[in-house]
Structure 1
Amino acid sequence: MSFLLRKIVHNEAMRSDPKEIYGWRVYALACSACFGGMLFGMDSGIIGGVLTMGEFKHKFGLVNQSKVGEANLSANIVSTLQAGCFVGALVASPVADRWGRKPALIIASIFATVGVVMQFAASGYLEPMYIGRFVTGLGVGAASMVNPLYVSENAPRAIRGGLTGLYQLFITMGIMLAFWINYGSLLHIGGAAVYVVPLSMQALPAVLLFVGMLLCNESPRFLAKQDRWEEAKATLAKVRALPENHPYVESEFRDIVTQLEHERQLVGGSGLWDLMKEMWLIPGNRKRALISIFLMICQQMTGTNAINYYAPQIFENLGVKGNATNLFATGIYGIVKMVSCAAFLIFVADSLGRRRSLLWTSVAQALAMLYIGLYVRIAPPKEGQPVIPAGYVALVCIFLFAAFFQFGWGPVCWIYVSEIPTARLRSLNVAFGAATQWLFNFVVARAVPNMLATVGSNGYGTYIIFACFCFSMGVFVWFFVPETKGVSLEKMDDIFGVADLLNRKLAVDPERASANENENENEDSKGGATETRIEKA
Structure 2
Amino acid sequence: MRTKTLIERLVHNDAVKEDPPEIYGWRVFALAASACFGGMLFGMDMGIIGGVLELDAFEADYNLTERTKANLSSNIVSVLQAGCFFGSLGIYILSDKLGRKPSLLISAAVATLGCIIQAAASGKYGALYTGRIIAGIGVGAASSTTPLYISENVPRAIRGGLTGIYQLFIVTGIMLAFWINYGSSLHISGRASYIVPLVIQALPALLLFGCMLLNKESPRFLAKQDRWEEATQTLCRVRNLPADHPYIQVELADIAAQLQYERELVGGASQKDLWKEMWLIKGNRNRALISIGLMVCQQMTGTNAINYYAPMIFKNLGITGDTTSLFATGIYGVVKVTACLAFLLFVADSLGRRRSLLWTSIAQGLAMFYMGLYVRIAPPDTDKPVPPAGYFALVCVFLFAGFFQFGWGPVPWIYCSEVASARLRSLNVALASATQWLFNFVVAQATPRMLKNVGNKGYGFVCSGDRRIGSEANP
What TM-score, normalized to structure 2? Answer: 0.99
- Report the RMSD for the aligned CA atoms in angstroms: 0.8
Q: Which moved more, 1:270-279 or 1:443-452?
A: 270-279
Once residues 275 and 77 of structure 2 are traced to their aligned partners in structure 1, the CA distance between those partners, rounded to angstroms, is 33
* Structure 1 position 206, deviation (Å): 0.5
1:8 aligns to what? Answer: 10
Q: Secondary structure at the match of 2:152?
A: helix
8 A Cα contact 1:97 1:427, kept in partner: yes
2:168 aligns to what? Answer: 169
The code of the aligned residue for 1:443 comes to V
8 A Cα contact 1:111 1:138, kept in partner: yes
2:331 aligns to what? Answer: 332
1:91 aligns to what? Answer: 90
1:43 aligns to what? Answer: 45
* Structure 1 position 269, deviation (Å): 2.0
Q: Which moved more, 1:229-238 or 1:415-424?
A: 229-238
8 A Cα contact 1:122 1:129, kept in partner: yes
Once residues 20 and 93 of structure 2 are traced to their aligned partners in structure 1, the CA distance between those partners, rounded to angstroms, is 35
Once residues 444 and 179 of structure 1 are traced to their aligned partners in structure 2, the CA distance between those partners, rounded to angstroms, is 20
Q: Which runs of 5+ in 1 are unaligned?
A: 482-537
8 A Cα contact 2:320 2:382, kept in partner: no
1:464 aligns to what? Answer: 461
* Structure 1 position 155, deviation (Å): 1.1
What do residues 179-218 of structure 1 show as CA deviations (whole Å, max 9, x unaligned)?
0000001100111000000010011000000000000010
The code of the aligned residue for 2:466 comes to F
1:265 aligns to what? Answer: 264
* 1:352 partnered with 2:351: yes
Once residues 398 and 407 of structure 1 are traced to their aligned partners in structure 2, the CA distance between those partners, rounded to angstroms, is 15
1:58 aligns to what? Answer: 60
* Structure 1 position 336, deviation (Å): 0.4
Once residues 381 and 134 of structure 2 are traced to their aligned partners in structure 1, the CA distance between those partners, rounded to angstroms, is 41
* Structure 1 position 73, deviation (Å): 0.4
Q: Secondary structure at the match of 2:423?
A: helix
Once residues 315 and 84 of structure 1 are traced to their aligned partners in structure 2, the CA distance between those partners, rounded to angstroms, is 28
8 A Cα contact 2:84 2:139, kept in partner: yes
What do residues 334-365 of structure 1 show as CA deviations (whole Å, max 9, x unaligned)?
00001110110001101111111111101000
Aligned length: 473
2:21 aligns to what? Answer: 19
1:365 aligns to what? Answer: 364
1:345-424 map, 5 Å: 345-424=344-423
8 A Cα contact 2:39 2:142, kept in partner: yes
* Structure 1 position 231, deviation (Å): 1.4
The code of the aligned residue for 2:287 comes to R
Q: Which moved more, 1:362-371 or 1:281-290?
A: 281-290
8 A Cα contact 1:165 1:411, kept in partner: yes
8 A Cα contact 2:31 2:215, kept in partner: yes
8 A Cα contact 1:92 1:142, kept in partner: yes
The code of the aligned residue for 2:465 comes to C
2:425 aligns to what? Answer: 426
1:526 aligns to what? Answer: none
The code of the aligned residue for 1:472 comes to I
The code of the aligned residue for 2:156 comes to R
Once residues 380 and 12 of structure 1 are traced to their aligned partners in structure 2, the CA distance between those partners, rounded to angstroms, is 53
8 A Cα contact 1:275 1:425, kept in partner: yes
Once residues 383 and 241 of structure 1 are traced to their aligned partners in structure 2, the CA distance between those partners, rounded to angstroms, is 60
Once residues 101 and 342 of structure 1 are traced to their aligned partners in structure 2, the CA distance between those partners, rounded to angstroms, is 26
The code of the aligned residue for 2:363 comes to A
Match of 1:473 among 457, 470, 473: 470
Once residues 416 and 157 of structure 2 are traced to their aligned partners in structure 1, the CA distance between those partners, rounded to angstroms, is 17
Q: Secondary structure at the match of 1:154?
A: coil
What do residues 421-449 of structure 1 show as CA deviations (whole Å, max 9, x unaligned)?
11111111100000000000000001000
* Structure 1 position 85, deviation (Å): 0.3
- Runs (4 or more) in structure 1 with deviation over 4 Å come to none
2:435 aligns to what? Answer: 436
2:288 aligns to what? Answer: 289
1:519 aligns to what? Answer: none
Once residues 296 and 54 of structure 1 are traced to their aligned partners in structure 2, the CA distance between those partners, rounded to angstroms, is 35
Once residues 113 and 383 of structure 1 are traced to their aligned partners in structure 2, the CA distance between those partners, rounded to angstroms, is 40
What do residues 34-83 of structure 1 show as CA deviations (whole Å, max 9, x unaligned)?
000000000000000000001100100102x41xx210000000001100
Q: Which protein shows a greater Rg?
A: 1
8 A Cα contact 2:317 2:456, kept in partner: no
Once residues 240 and 282 of structure 2 are traced to their aligned partners in structure 1, the CA distance between those partners, rounded to angstroms, is 38
What TM-score, normalized to structure 1? Answer: 0.87
* Structure 1 position 461, deviation (Å): 1.2
Q: Which moved more, 1:332-341 or 1:231-240?
A: 231-240
* 1:127 partnered with 2:129: no
* Structure 1 position 10, deviation (Å): 1.0
The code of the aligned residue for 1:71 comes to A
What do residues 239-279 of structure 1 show as CA deviations (whole Å, max 9, x unaligned)?
11111111111111111111111111222123102211221
2:32 aligns to what? Answer: 30
Q: Secondary structure at the match of 1:176?
A: helix
* Structure 1 position 9, deviation (Å): 1.3
The code of the aligned residue for 1:310 comes to Y
Once residues 331 and 75 of structure 2 are traced to their aligned partners in structure 1, the CA distance between those partners, rounded to angstroms, is 27
1:495 aligns to what? Answer: none
The code of the aligned residue for 2:408 comes to W
1:528 aligns to what? Answer: none
Once residues 287 and 186 of structure 1 are traced to their aligned partners in structure 2, the CA distance between those partners, rounded to angstroms, is 48
2:117 aligns to what? Answer: 118
